[in-house]
Amino acid sequence: MNPSTAQFLLAAKQAEIKALLQLSANCQLVTSISELVHQLQRERGISNIFLASGCELFARQRQQQLQHSTSAELQLRTALEQQYLHAPQPCNSSRLLSGIALALQGMDHLAELREQIHQQKITPLQATEAYSRLIAAWLAVVLESADLACDASITRVLVALFNLLQTKEYAGQERAWGAMGFASGKVSTELAERLLLLQQAQQHSAAVFLEFASSAQQQQWQQLEQSAAAKQLQQLRTMLQQLPGTATLVPAVSDLWYQFATDRMDAMHQLMALLTADLQQLTAATVTAAQQQLQQHRHKLTELTALPAGSGLTLLIDPSMPGLYGASVVPQTTNEHGITAPGRSFYQLLSEQAQHIRQIQAELCDARRAITEQKRIDRAKLLLMQYKKLSEEQAYRQLQQSAMQQQCRIADVAEAVVKALLQGG
Amino acid sequence: MNPSTAQFLLAAKQAEIKALLQLSANCQLVTSISELVHQLQRERGISNIFLASGCELFARQRQQQLQHSTSAELQLRTALEQQYLHAPQPCNSSRLLSGIALALQGMDHLAELREQIHQQKITPLQATEAYSRLIAAWLAVVLESADLACDASITRVLVALFNLLQTKEYAGQERAWGAMGFASGKVSTELAERLLLLQQAQQHSAAVFLEFASSAQQQQWQQLEQSAAAKQLQQLRTMLQQLPGTATLVPAVSDLWYQFATDRMDAMHQLMALLTADLQQLTAATVTAAQQQLQQHRHKLTELTALPAGSGLTLLIDPSMPGLYGASVVPQTTNEHGITAPGRSFYQLLSEQAQHIRQIQAELCDARRAITEQKRIDRAKLLLMQYKKLSEEQAYRQLQQSAMQQQCRIADVAEAVVKALLQGG
């Protein structure tokens, strides 16, 4: 056996471990982002009411909240610098790094935004928009991390987590529009429609979350949706949809809306803790398993090189390996060969590694489907915004309506839209 | 601006360059593999005739060919050790490294195979099978390299190159079966069917090659198929299909068959040189362009940090960035803002980078379709071989016939087969 053949086998295992360590760093990043997003969502909600009330309401809460946000930001920035900028093995994904840079650019201007809010130089809508863009930029980083994951189980948790975050963000936007709308004392048809769209968007993301969630997570979601806050929010939603646009709302409705929506979002945040704990446990176990396999590979190779060179089974005569079309030998499972020469054991090690990698690939493909579809929808939305000068809401609505008309999935419509826009435009 | 934001922007560009450098190494690897595969195909053909003639024919040619093969092997091994085992930035794809280890295991046993051929301890079929498995293992490495490519234009050339190599390999197998069959003096129905299958497989791969080839490459392919050798081979093919199974062949037909098939394969090898030259040029240009961009990024950042900090455009107020559903501002193209504060320039740099990465991603998706489909077919074949105990030929024929019956693409049948086999157990 040529020594470099064994070196390539070990290098393959080491590359797998390196990828898992990077994945582990990405998972910690996702956990820190989840926390920061939660704090930014709270800050957005509080700032909104603070501005709408002419700085009368929530001034003290806002000061407290800024401390929470700053603390979450500090934690995330520390993790980012340690694990990405000063890591011995730098991250090799330009997509992830570029996404982080974009979100950080937003963070760098957060102090300015807060000052404008403090001085009331900005409307509630403008402030809400700014916070929402920042949150969207961080969610894009989470989606990118999920896309980079090289392990199917971890990818599944990341997909669940992204979709829970996305559901919570739509819930936050629903809360914001409700709060801003009620300030006017009326529920316009436009507002009612927008609230409905955001409720549908929550259902869509929650369905994907449930598809990839563990049964414990699914159960906690059911409890959350059965909670008093969620039920009362649902009653308010129904009531608002049924009100004529001319009906006048009492200010207390706005307070109730904000409180129920906030309670439900906080419950989602607790569920998120369940997911991030699962994620940490899973990545630690996966890295350990891969490192043990590398040790086993090393031991086995040392044993093999100590033995005299034998012919044994090689790729050249393995009937289970593809090669010549029409070869008459029916392949057998490798166990049935009964060859125990050292050559066989090394080849066995190689075959197992190849089989392991094929298996990982196949499982990943399946878990990644949801990510590919999400990215396709995001891309179609962005192109509709750029080419057709639609707002994000109009773009999403167009995709959603086409899907209903053509009775197909929104991801399929998105794919067709991307093709048409890029070719036509 | 926080300095780490700029660092992430630069790190993203550096990660892109590192990926391109790795791709450049992979492209050189693919070039070396193409050459080795060509030599192994020649060695397979010569060894086949050498064995079938009881060592009387091609003994001298075989000795010469072994030198050519050994020289190509040496070149490939040197490249592999330099660029993968002892590179400053080790390759991070366990799939590629594991594929290389598998193919090298076969190479390590080549001396043994040659000795068996020399001593006539092996049948022509067994020898042909062994060479074919080795070639298939190297082709799998080429496909993996194509799958790893992070640039759409380079991916397209790699897909073309893989499919040309695959076409040539089917041509080599057709030549081998013909040569072995004619040695018996008859063309059995089974042999006639197998030759037809291998001709269809060549058409399939050649069609994908042509889809991704440049017009110069397409033209050279047309010339190749119009050449005297190709035309005479085609006449022999037609003749063999029309002969009754009882007809006796004169030995000269076998010689002609071998010669025409070899000439056509050599012409394919010349076309391959056109592709590998394109590949080298393209990778060099792509790496240079990325490095220039990194320099530009660096300069621009130095300029920006020298200027006083300004507010400028940020992610937070960019209307073209998604965030809040229902925001009424219609997004504009970034050119229309007319803000020239330093904040804008840095954000512009970031936006351009994000746009650039989205563009690359979208183009890659398209070029990768052919790779995904090829991998799907390979996987379905392998599973049919393992689960249903079919030979590779039977597995491919089953996929092909199902595709014809269901009037759909073979890749779609392959996907359904993989799902059914894995779920059905």
- Per-residue pLDDT of B301-320, as tens digits, reads 888 776 655 556 788 988 88
Q: What are the phi and psi torsion angles at A45 (to 5°)?
A: -60, -50
Confidence of residue A329 (pLDDT cuts 50, 70, 90): low
Residue type, A55: C
Percentage of chain B beyond pLDDT 90 is: 62
Mutation site, B14, B44, B48, B108, interface A, largest A CB count within 10 A: B108
Q: Give chain A's end-to-end CA distance (angstroms, integer).
A: 57
Q: How confident is the model at residue A403 (pLDDT cuts 50, 70, 90)?
A: very high
CB A29 within 8 A of CB A148: no
ipTM above 0.95, yes or no: no
Chain A residues close to B94, C-beta within 8 Å: 12-13, 15-16, 19, 357
Report how far apart the first and last C-alpha atoms of chain B are (Å, whole number): 57
Distances (CA, A) of A3 to A10, A140, A304, B33, B400: 11, 44, 11, 20, 41
**Comparing B32-41, B80-89, B337-346, which segment has the lowest mean pLDDT?**
B337-346
Please choose, from the candidates B193, B170, B165, the residue with its C-alpha nearest in 3D space to the C-alpha of residue B181.
B193
Q: How many CA atoms lie within 13 A of B94 on its CB side?
A: 23
Task: Please answer whether residues B170 and B201 qualify as being in contact, where contact means their C-beta atoms are separated by less than 8 angstroms.
Answer: yes
The secondary structure of B65-82 as a DSSP string is HHHHHHHHHHHHHHHHII
**Do B94 and A128 make contact, defined as CB atoms within 8 angstroms?**
no
Res A334 pLDDT > 70: no
State the pLDDT confidence band at B331, using cuts at 50, 70 and 90.
very low
The answer to whether B106 touches A315, Cβ cutoff 8 Å, is yes
The verdict on a CB contact (< 8 Å) between B173 and A107 is no
Average pLDDT over residues A213-240: 95
Give mean pLDDT, residues A186-194. Answer: 88
Residues A325, B396: C-beta atoms closer than 8 Å:
yes
Q: Tell me the mean pLDDT in the region B248-258.
A: 86
**Which are the contacts of A199, defined by CB distance < 8 A and separation ≥ 6?**
A174, A237
Residue with tokens 């076409």: B167
8 Å CB contact between B182 and B256: no
Q: Is A248 helix (H, G, I), strand (E, B) or coil?
A: coil
**Alpha carbon separation from A265 to A70, A132, A288, B102 (Å, rounded):** 20, 15, 35, 51
Do B324 and A350 make contact, defined as CB atoms within 8 angstroms? no
List Cβ neighbours of A294 (8 Å cut-off, separation of 6 or more): A10, A13, A14, A17
pLDDT reading at B45 higher than 50? yes
List pLDDT tens digits, range A14-34.
999 999 999 999 999 999 999
Per-residue model confidence as pLDDT tens digits over B203-219: 999 999 999 999 999 99
Mean pLDDT over all residues of chain A?
Answer: 89
Angle between helices B392-405 and B410-424 (to 10 degrees): 110
Q: How far is A134 from chain B (nearest CA, A)?
A: 6
- Residue B35: what pLDDT? 97
CA distances from A257 to A39, A49, A131, A174, A181 (A): 19, 12, 20, 10, 11
* Per-residue pLDDT at A424 exceeds 70: no
- Tell me: pLDDT of B16 over 60: yes
Q: Do B393 and A201 touch (CB under 8 A)?
A: no
Instruction: Tell me what the pLDDT averaged over chain B comes to.
Output: 89
Bigger pLDDT: A304 vs A218 = A218
Q: Of B162, B160, B153, give the one whose Cα is nearest residue B286.
A: B153
Model pLDDT for residues A100-132, shown as the tens digit of each residue: 999 999 999 999 999 999 999 999 999 999 999
Sign of CA dihedral A400, A402, A405, A407: negative
Q: Provide the pLDDT confidence category of residue B329 given band limits of 50, 70 and 90.
A: low
Confidence (pLDDT) at B344: 58
Specify the 3-state DSSP secondary structure of B88: coil
Torsion of CA A95, A97, A103, A107, to 10 degrees: -170
Of the spans A299-308, B100-109, B346-355, which averages the highest pLDDT? B100-109
Instruction: State whether residue A53 is helix, strand or coil.
Output: coil
Residue B330 has pLDDT above 70, yes or no: no
Which chain B residues are closer than 8 Å to A4 by Cβ?
77, 80-81, 85, 104
Q: What is the rounded distance in angstroms from the CA atom of residue A259 to the CA atom of residue A403?
A: 34
Convert the pLDDT of each residue in A143-177 to its tens digit.
999 999 989 999 999 999 999 999 999 999 999 99
For residue B326, pLDDT over 90 is answered with: no
List the beta strands (DSSP E) in B201-350: none
pLDDT of residue B337: 41
Per-residue pLDDT averaged across A178-190, rounded?
84
In the prediction, which pLDDT does B253 show? 86
A3: pLDDT strictly greater than 50: yes
Q: Please give the average per-residue pLDDT across A389-407, as a whole number.
A: 91
pLDDT at position B339: 40
| pLDDT score at A36 | 98
Among A67-76, A321-330, B263-272, B358-367, the least confident range = A321-330
Our CA-based measurement puts residue B392 at a distance from the nearest CA of chain A, in whole angstroms, of 6
Mean pLDDT throughout B186-196? Answer: 89
Please tell me the predicted confidence (pLDDT) of residue A1.
67
- Alpha-carbon distance of B22 to B15, in angstroms, equals 11
Least confident of A251-265, B186-200, B357-371: B357-371
Q: In chain B, which residue's Cα lies nearest the Cα of A378?
A: B322
φ and ψ of B291, to 5 deg:
-65, -40
CA diameter of chain B:
92
* SS3 at position A121: coil
With cut-offs at 50, 70 and 90, classify the pLDDT of residue A284.
very high
Average of per-residue pLDDT across A230-236: 95
More confident residue, B241 or A158: A158
Of A280-284, B132-136, B265-269, B360-364, minimum mean pLDDT range = B360-364
In the predicted model, is pLDDT for residue A90 greater than 90? Answer: no
Residue A338 has pLDDT above 90, yes or no: no
- Most A CBs within 10 Å, among B1, B7, B8, to test the A interface: B8
Q: Which residues of A touch B13 (CB under 8 A)?
A: 94
Give the DSSP letter of residue A243. S
pLDDT per position as a tens digit, B130-189:
999 999 999 999 999 999 998 999 999 999 999 999 999 999 999 999 988 887 788 888
Q: Which residue, chain included where needed, has tokens 């980079």?
A: A148
Domain with CATH 1.10.10.10 in chain A: 307-315+338-424
The pLDDT of residue B308:
57
Mean pLDDT of A281-289: 94
Q: Which two tokens stand for residue A189?
A: 């048809």
Q: Residue B328: pLDDT band by 50, 70, 90 thresholds?
A: low
Across the interface, which of A133, A197, A323 has its CB nearest the CB of B323? A133
Residue A101 has its nearest CB partner, among B9, B325, B343, at: B9
Confidence of residue B230 (pLDDT cuts 50, 70, 90): very high
CATH number of this structure's domain A307-315+338-424: 1.10.10.10
Give the residue-averaged pLDDT of A365-382. 88
Supply the Cα-derived Rg of chain A in whole angstroms. 27
For A194, counting Cβ atoms within 10 Å of its Cβ (0-12 exposed, 13-18 middle, 19+ buried), the class is: buried
Is residue B104 within 8 A of residue A353, CB to CB? The reply is no
% of chain B exceeding 70 in pLDDT: 94
CA angle A381, A391, A121 (to 5 degrees): 130
Cβ A102–B354 below 8 Å, yes or no? yes
A84 pLDDT exceeds 60? yes
Counting beta carbons within 10 angstroms of the beta carbon of residue B70, is it exposed (0 to 12), middle (13 to 18) or buried (19 or more)? middle
B378/A322 CB distance under 8 A: yes
Residues in chain B: 425
Mean pLDDT over residues A257-266, rounded? 96
Closest CA to B325 of A207, A178, A197: A197
Q: Give the pLDDT score at A34.
A: 97
Rounded to whole angstroms, the Cα distance separating B357 from B13 reads: 10
DSSP A81: I
Please state the rounded mean pLDDT for residues B207-232.
96
